[in-house]
Amino acid sequence: MAIQITVFLENRPGRIQTIANILKEKNLNILAFSIQDRGEFGLMKIIVDKPEQARLALSERGMACAAKPVFAITAADRPGNLETLTTALAKKNINIKDAYGFVSPADKQGICYLEVENPQGADLGRLLAEYGFTLIADKDLYDL
Amino acid sequence: MIWNEEIETMPLENLKNLQSERLVNLVHYVYEHSPFYRQKLDETGVSPSDIRGIEDITKLPFTTKLDLRDHYPFGLFSLPRREAVEIHVSSGTTGNPTVVGYTRDDLKLWSEVMARSLCCAGAKPGDLLQNAFGYGLFTGGLGFHYGALAMGLTVIPCSAGQTKRQLKIMQDFKPDILSCTPSYCLYMADEAKEMGLDTRQGSWRIGIFGAEPWSTSMQKEIEEIWNMTATDIYGMSEIIGPGVAQECTYKQGLHLFSDVFYPEVIDPDSDKPVPEGQDGELVITTLTKQAIPLLRYRTRDVVNMTTQPCPCGRTSPRTSKIKGRTDDMIVVRGVNVFPSQIEGVLLGIEGTHPHYQLVIDRQAHKLDEVEILVEVDEKIFSDEMKQMRMLEQKIKKEIEGVLSIGVTVKLVEPKTIQRSEGKASRVVDKRVL
């Protein structure tokens, strides 16, 4: 599973830059990120190649952050794939807490990061395989 | 008009004799009736017989707000609770609020000093008073009410808030006097302008404002906007409520009714009296109260005093406006706020001690706004937005419950609130009074 780092940020100029700078200084590579905004503050969610190093670096600099596992799923870039994925989850009554996805235009590959309630009980790997999706292997995500 | 000519214009020498006689009686009274003061005097090594006149007052121990808190709710009463006919409550520093009680005679005293205050501000019997101080546990509303009844005013017990209704009453009933916090008076002016009213044509001839610090420039502004005489009143629930001191129309300080509330001004560090005219902490002894008389109560308000004659003829010493506090209490919309109250709430919520800061601001003619910044440290951080929102809401709700005023809570990043020793970093008061 992918490890997602969540960081607490105030909503004011330069805050994301600070995070990016801390990661850059440690030569960490950002694979994906998303931001949830709540007016005065927000949460930045980041997937990096070395999650534990990133968490420590942010912590050392006084940022409030946490790491948690999420599913990283690949799918071919074609119409209807998100529908197929969510149908599979809905049938098993699995609730999505958070998700973000994008397509890399060059290699026509869709990637989706998915956070679900009760991930252990879900046995998501098998379910996804049944519907033709693949969980990205750790070795492909991380520079181990 | 002077309400109690005999007392209020008494030559200082006679006043001193009256104070001496009353202090001697008071010390005997508390020694006999109050286990708290008996123990305190015994510990200080002072016997009631050591107090022979007002000059002996410095031998007596101080009383503080902490004493009131530590003996919550009725432990500082010198009489059994059933002897009190009324009880009021104000905020405490932490935990328990401050509770005070009044006997029937205490209420008479309160009515008397409030009648003096109203007359001092220029009220005449038959005038119509719009009392926009809050009625209830807060002493502001009822204090004015009792004084108005005693001196023969017609009182409209509006209480605070409902501004449009306040303004309608002002237009339709043509009240002569307005009593409220000074910031609320300016807030009403803005509302009036929005309603298209000409504030210069307002009916109020006199305003009596207090329960929060305000400046001479704010006073002038109110007078200009409303075309009225604005006066300052001073008091606190521990002493009686409003009616401890009141500015007369000459506006050369607030006449402190020292025949019943004996004032001292001390250096808060050395506890020694400061020379007349110098700034220091106001300490008050209630000379004639029955339910909860206090010896040398530390008000924590910084003032200076003068005994120079006033053109109005009143001889009682006058205090300046409040120049500051010797503790970290702040007054917001007439409500006393202690940073320690915020601390208590935060500690209760997550069992941790996050850094916080109170930011108080007042836009021109608006009510005070309180923003509480809370640093999100690792202990209270959650990576779920839902949890963070709930945390924010919970802090807001609980702080509002403790302070009884609306606040906004802002979660901020760790280490963004400036660290320094003392109160400066806890409170940022941006108000221009």
- Sign of the dihedral through C-alpha B116, B118, B124, B127: negative
Q: Provide the pLDDT confidence category of residue A128 given band limits of 50, 70 and 90.
A: confident
pLDDT, residue B154, reads: 98
Interface touch B385/A10, C-beta < 8 Å = no
How many angstroms separate the CA of residue B373 from the nearest CA in chain A? 11
Does the CB of B364 have a partner CB in chain A at under 8 Å?
A: no
How many angstroms separate the CA of residue A107 from the nearest CA in chain B? 32
| pLDDT tens profile A117-127 | 876 655 788 88
How many A-B residue pairs are in contact by the CB < 8 A criterion? 46
Q: Which of B384, B385, B413 sits opposite A64 (nearest CB)?
A: B413
pLDDT, residue A38, reads: 85
Per-residue tokens: A7 = 């960081």
Residue A100 has pLDDT above 80, yes or no: yes
pLDDT, residue B424, reads: 43
How many angstroms separate the CA of residue B393 from the nearest CA in chain A? 13
Q: Which stretches in chain B have pLDDT values below 50?
A: 422-424
Whether a cis peptide bond, with omega within 30° of 0, leads into B73 is: yes
pLDDT, residue B200, reads: 96
Name residues 52-71 of chain A within 8 A of B (Cβ): 59, 62-66, 68
> DSSP string of chain A?
-EEEEEEEEESSTTHHHHHHHHHHHTT--EEEEEEEEETTEEEEEEEESSHHHHHHHHHHTT--EEEEEEEEEEEES-TTHHHHHHHHHHHTTPPEEEEEEEEETTTTEEEEEEEESSHHHH-HHHHHHHTT-EEPPHHHH---
Q: Provide the pLDDT confidence category of residue A143 given band limits of 50, 70 and 90.
A: low
pLDDT, residue A121, reads: 55
pLDDT, residue B351, reads: 66
Does the CB of B352 have a partner CB in chain A at under 8 Å?
A: no
Give yes or no for a contact between B314 and B2, defined as CB atoms under 8 angstroms apart. yes
pLDDT, residue B384, reads: 87
Per-residue tokens: B314 = 């009143």
Interface touch A10/B388, C-beta < 8 Å = no
Give yes or no for a contact between A110 and A102, defined as CB atoms under 8 angstroms apart. yes
In one letter, which amino acid is A72?
Answer: A
∠ Cα B310 B315 B318 (to 5°): 65
How many angstroms separate the CA of residue A10 from the nearest CA in chain B? 6
Query: How many angstroms separate the CA atoms of B280 and B178, rounded?
Result: 31
**pTM more than 0.80:** no
Among A73-77, A108-112, B169-173, B182-186, top mean pLDDT goes to: B169-173
